[in-house]
Copies of this chain bind each other. A is one copy, B any other.
Amino acid sequence: MIFHFKNKFPQLNAYWDKYLPFQKKQEVPAKTLLLQEGRRSQQYIFIEKGCLRAFLNKDGNDKTVQFFFEQEGLASFESFVNNVPSPISIETIEPSILYTLPKKYALQLIDELSKEPYFTQMVLQISAQRQNHYMNEFVSFIRDTPEQRYQNLLKKRPQIVQRVPQHYIASYLGVSTVHLSRIKSKLAKGKSHF
């Protein structure tokens, strides 16, 4: 949410630089839980290498709702700024290299930034982007079949299909692992008559 915007708003670069020293580099194995549903977020996370997923628990099983890759940053803004419990958990999928900024400094940074006119512009842009993201996901569920949603992934976010274990993708698409497997084999057949 913050550092991955470096250079997108050059006017604010000085701020990122100022807080770089407070970052901590962390190397963590796969399946490391970084934030647990119900807890309060204690840090901003930037992904140097690896990938993460956001998920929630429903009747005992995981439902993955989002994926994150290199050069992306995460902070549940709400959980963070308003200090409310996070509705989701975050964990690594691959062994990852992360840079984290403790909440204390992140809030301090936001406080400094909020005096800058460009900050508003940045927050608005980020907010609009996210709104757009969730709206597209939502509309896609109404409009598209699971098969079409999978093909969208293949076309627009091939990273996910290539790097993420299939059962996470299945819940993200809203289907069972078995059904996603069926979708794949059906698509494979369709292609094979070159």
> A: which residues have CB within 8 A of B?
56, 58, 63-65, 78, 120, 123-124, 127-128, 130-131, 134-135, 137-139, 141-143, 171-172, 174
Q: How far is the CA of A56 from the CA of B124 in the complex (A)?
A: 27
Given the known A-B contacts A124-B123, A127-B128, are A65 and B134 also in contact in the complex, defined by CB atoms under 8 Å? no
A127 contact from B64, B127, B141, Cβ within 8 A: B127
A138 contact from B58, B64, B128, B138, Cβ within 8 A: B138
Which chain B residues lie closer than 8 Å to A135 at the CB level? 134
Q: How far is the CA of A64 from the CA of B130 in the complex (A)?
A: 22
Closest 5 CB pairs of A and B: A134-B134, A141-B141, A127-B127, A131-B131, A137-B138
Q: How far is the CA of A128 from the CA of B130 in the complex (A)?
A: 9
Which chain B residues lie closer than 8 Å to A142 at the CB level? 63-65, 171-172, 174
Which chain B residues lie closer than 8 Å to A64 at the CB level? 142
Q: How far is the CA of A135 from the CA of B137 in the complex (A)?
A: 9
Which chain B residues lie closer than 8 Å to A56 at the CB level? 139, 143
A138 touches B134 (CB 8 A): yes
User: Most chain-B CB neighbours within 10 Å: which of A56, A78, A128?
Assistant: A128
Q: How far is the CA of A171 from the CA of B56 in the complex (A)?
A: 26
Given the known A-B contacts A120-B120, A134-B134, are A65 and B139 also in contact in the complex, defined by CB atoms under 8 Å? yes
Which chain B residues lie closer than 8 Å to A174 at the CB level? 141-142
Which chain B residues lie closer than 8 Å to A130 at the CB level? 131
B127 touches A131 (CB 8 A): yes
Q: How far is the CA of A127 from the CA of B120 in the complex (A)?
A: 12
4 new A-B pairs (CB below 8 Å) besides A127-B131, A130-B131, A141-B141?
A: A65-B139, A127-B127, A134-B134, A138-B141
